[in-house]
A and B are shown apart, each in its own frame.
Chain A
Amino acid sequence: MANADAMNLAVKAINLAKWFGEGEARTIAVKDVSFDAYLGEMLYIVGPSGSGKTTLLSMISGILRPNSGTVAVENMDIWNMATDEIAAFRLNKIGFVFQDYHLFPRLTTVENVAIPLILKKIDWNEALKIAMQNLEIVGLKDRAQLPPVKLSGGEQQRVAIARAISSRPDLLIFDEPTASLDGDTGRKIVAFVKENILNDKRCIIIVTHDSRIYEYADRILKMEDGKIIGLETGDFHEE
């Protein structure tokens, strides 16, 4: 079982700590956090505002360097890499769905989805072809040539998901995926992600404080004041 766990390990965070400012102005955002995330699971990081969940998410996705501790994604210590290597690692291994989507309003939907592929220097037409396939996965093929501003909030969320999976990442990071959506649309989106995007070779980590979508979580990591206060496994649908 231990070997199986090791093989499925997507993220291993050990003793992560992050603080901002120095001296009396020092604010500790995350302290001594350790956890594992596995391929094939949907892990939620939940907690009140200011609990450190976004800081933790940034450290495990190679965006914010921790003051101490290590993060291994697929057994690679990402904070031992050079800046450009981390950028390349993010591009190839991690997909991001931002809270505000951050889609380019001046590009078409399909061009937005193709961005990670273009960053990977894939030929423009080939990138658009793959992007179109991803739009088909999220059910927005017929919206491909529209600018994102012409789409609803839920559709924009799905475009962001299509963009995040463009480079076939092993780790998908969702930051407050339901914050800009109504309850019903939010639940539908997360259900869709669990059914269609999550697979045995992919780990999805979601930061949220929206308890209405807890039912889709495999495990929930609870944070408060920069520390993990609990890790729950079970059928959250029943709660």
Chain B
Amino acid sequence: MKGILKIAFKLLVNDKGKFAALLVGITFAVFLMIQMTSMFAGIMARSSATVVNIGAKIWVMDPAVNTVANSIPMPDYVQDAVRSINGVKYAVPLYSSVALVKLRSGTYQAVSVLGLDDATLFGRPALLEGKIEDIYAENGFIVLVDSEFRKMEYPKIGTEFEINDNRGVVVGLAKVTSSGLFGIPTLYTTYSRAVTYIPSARFTTAYVLVEPKTASDIPYIKEQVQKLGYLALTDEEFIQKISDFYMYQTGLGINMFIMTAISFIVGLSISGQTFYTFILENLEKFGALKAIGAKGRELVFMILFQATFTAFVGYGLGVGLASFIVMSARLRLPDYAAQITYMNLADAFIMVVIIAAISSYIGIRKVLKIEPFDIFRS
């Protein structure tokens, strides 16, 4: 079979025009697919940035909450009630809001403010510069060094700004696992300072962050919270809820799906049509091979090999191109949300396999139908 595949390989790659067209079709399709799905994955990851960065095991919230940024404040008794549930090791409040800060240059910048429990500072970020206890200092704020950091005009420790006519001082710079989705910098401070500095509604607790004693306590805690009229979700469940919201309750998911489907159709059209033409042009030659003594399955192997080889090379080029574009874009655009995951790569691979299968099926049907007798009749 090795020799036959070598012939198939030479027939394919020596037809440089068609081979190039096939590769362009599949590469373009893979590039589009990965670009679209990685953008979606990036947005999904960023939409849950706060959940990941805070790192609480259980989040208690109003049942109407859809995304972490759009919290619905809860009365203080919720925190007390949660603390009294069996299986809860500790429960702390989290403040979450958006505010305007006036920078040194005089410009205003929207920021996300997270207020950590004063007693425990649960959910605090890992500091790059400064000491965590300085967050208790007068007007102390910690700024996240993420893709939005530059919007705070690259502050250093000691940099001052105004927040709702209150003085704020940068006392630390911190790193996080994931940048946020909405393109605004994030500040951390204490819960009490956040409530004091930022105009608030009647209730101020955005979330109650819970640490269970053991993992087996989680179902009971969730049940008890539900009885209070609120919702307790594990961090994974909360991330899934946020993803589901963007996927099914906004136009994002369907648009991504449409774009991915279009890229699949474009790839299939270009590759399928070119491969079909390639087979048609060689059809008489395949018939001659049959007449000489090639078996049907040998011809099928040749076509499968050609389709598979083209698909894999095109897939590799597409992945390479998409990675290069995403990397280049990230270097120039810190906010660029695309993130290539193994799932993106697997999805694109499955689609490429389908394209190769459909293209080769059409070719195989044609080749198996040709009768050597037709070659004699020319």
Q: Which residues of B have CB within 8 Å of A58? A: 372-373, 376
Tell whether, in the assembled complex, residue B377 and residue A104 are in contact, meaning their CB atoms are under 8 Å apart.
no
8 A-B pairs with C-beta separation under 8 A:
A57-B376, A90-B293, A91-B294, A96-B288, A102-B287, A104-B11, A119-B292, A119-B293
Tell whether, in the assembled complex, residue B293 and residue A106 are in contact, meaning their CB atoms are under 8 Å apart.
no
Is residue B366 within 8 Å, beta carbon to beta carbon, of the partner chain?
Answer: no
Tell whether, in the assembled complex, residue A88 and residue B7 are in contact, meaning their CB atoms are under 8 Å apart.
no
Is residue A51 within 8 Å, beta carbon to beta carbon, of the partner chain?
Answer: no
Instruction: Choose one: A92, A102, A116, A124; the contact of B284 (CB below 8 Å).
Output: A102
Tell whether, in the assembled complex, residue B3 and residue A100 are in contact, meaning their CB atoms are under 8 Å apart.
no
Pairs A-B, 10 closest by C-beta atoms: A91-B293, A102-B288, A118-B3, A106-B14, A90-B293, A63-B372, A64-B373, A58-B373, A87-B293, A54-B376
Is residue A99 within 8 Å, beta carbon to beta carbon, of the partner chain?
Answer: yes
Expressed in whole angstroms, the minimum distance between the Cβ of B333 and any Cβ of chain A is 44
Once A119-B289, A119-B292, A124-B2 are accepted as A-B contacts, the answer to whether A106 and B376 lie under 8 Å apart by CB is: no
Expressed in whole angstroms, the minimum distance between the Cβ of A60 and any Cβ of chain B is 12
Q: 1/0 per residue B116-139: CB within 8 Å of A? A: 000000000000000000000000
Q: Which of A72-95 contact B (CB under 8 A)?
A: 84, 87-92, 94
Q: Which residues of B have CB within 8 Å of A123? A: 3
Q: Which residues of B have CB within 8 Å of A115? A: 7, 289, 292
Bound CA span A95–B287, Å: 15
Residues of chain B touching chain A, judged by Cβ–Cβ distance below 8 Å, are 1-4, 6-7, 10-11, 14-15, 282, 284-285, 287-295, 298, 371-373, 375-378
Bound CA span A74–B371, Å: 25
19 A-B pairs besides A104-B11, A107-B11 with CB distance below 8 A are A58-B372, A63-B376, A64-B371, A64-B373, A87-B290, A88-B293, A91-B292, A94-B293, A98-B375, A98-B378, A99-B376, A102-B288, A104-B282, A106-B11, A107-B10, A115-B7, A115-B289, A116-B292, A121-B1
Tell whether, in the assembled complex, residue A87 and residue B3 are in contact, meaning their CB atoms are under 8 Å apart.
no
Q: 1/0 per residue A151-188: CB within 8 Å of B? A: 00000000000000000000000010000000000000
Tell whether, in the assembled complex, residue A99 and residue B378 are in contact, meaning their CB atoms are under 8 Å apart.
yes
Q: Which residues of A have CB within 8 Å of B14? A: 106-107
Q: Which of A84, A99, A111, A119 has the most CB of B within 10 A?
A: A119
Q: Which residues of A have CB within 8 Å of B292? A: 90-91, 96, 115-116, 119
Closest to B295 in A: A87
Q: Which residues of A have CB within 8 Å of B10? A: 106-107, 111
Q: Which of A57, A88, A99, A118 has the most CB of B within 10 A?
A: A118
Bound CA span A63–B376, Å: 10
Bound CA span A94–B291, Å: 10
Tell whether, in the assembled complex, residue B3 and residue A63 are in contact, meaning their CB atoms are under 8 Å apart.
no
Tell whether, in the assembled complex, residue B7 and residue A175 are in contact, meaning their CB atoms are under 8 Å apart.
no
Q: Which of B1, B11, B372 has the most CB of A within 10 A?
A: B372
Closest to B10 in A: A107
Is residue A11 within 8 Å, beta carbon to beta carbon, of the partner chain?
Answer: no
Q: Total number of A-B contacts with CB less than 8 angstroms?
A: 86
Expressed in whole angstroms, the minimum distance between the Cβ of A32 and any Cβ of chain B is 20
Residues of chain A touching chain B, judged by Cβ–Cβ distance below 8 Å, are 54, 57-58, 61, 63-64, 84, 87-92, 94, 96, 98-100, 102, 104, 106-107, 111, 115-116, 118-119, 121-124, 127, 175
Tell whether, in the assembled complex, residue B7 and residue A107 are in contact, meaning their CB atoms are under 8 Å apart.
yes
Q: Which residues of B have CB within 8 Å of A94? A: 293
Closest to A124 in B: B3
Q: Which residues of A have CB within 8 Å of B294? A: 87, 91, 119
Q: Which residues of B have CB within 8 Å of A175? A: 376
Closest to A175 in B: B376
Bound CA span A122–B3, Å: 8
Tell whether, in the assembled complex, residue B373 and residue A84 are in contact, meaning their CB atoms are under 8 Å apart.
no
Bound CA span A89–B293, Å: 8
Instruction: Choose one: A63, A106, A121; the contact of B373 (CB below 8 Å).
Output: A63
Closest to B287 in A: A102
Q: Which residues of B have CB within 8 Å of A91? A: 292-294
Closest to B7 in A: A118
Tell whether, in the assembled complex, residue A119 and residue B298 are in contact, meaning their CB atoms are under 8 Å apart.
yes
Bound CA span A121–B3, Å: 7
Tell whether, in the assembled complex, residue B2 and residue A54 are in contact, meaning their CB atoms are under 8 Å apart.
no
Closest to B16 in A: A106
Tell whether, in the assembled complex, residue B15 and residue A106 are in contact, meaning their CB atoms are under 8 Å apart.
yes
Closest to B14 in A: A106
Instruction: Choose one: B2, B4, B11, B291; the contact of A96 (CB below 8 Å).
Output: B291
Bound CA span A88–B293, Å: 6
Expressed in whole angstroms, the minimum distance between the Cβ of A84 and any Cβ of chain B is 6
Q: Which residues of A have CB within 8 Å of B284? A: 100, 102
Bound CA span A116–B4, Å: 10
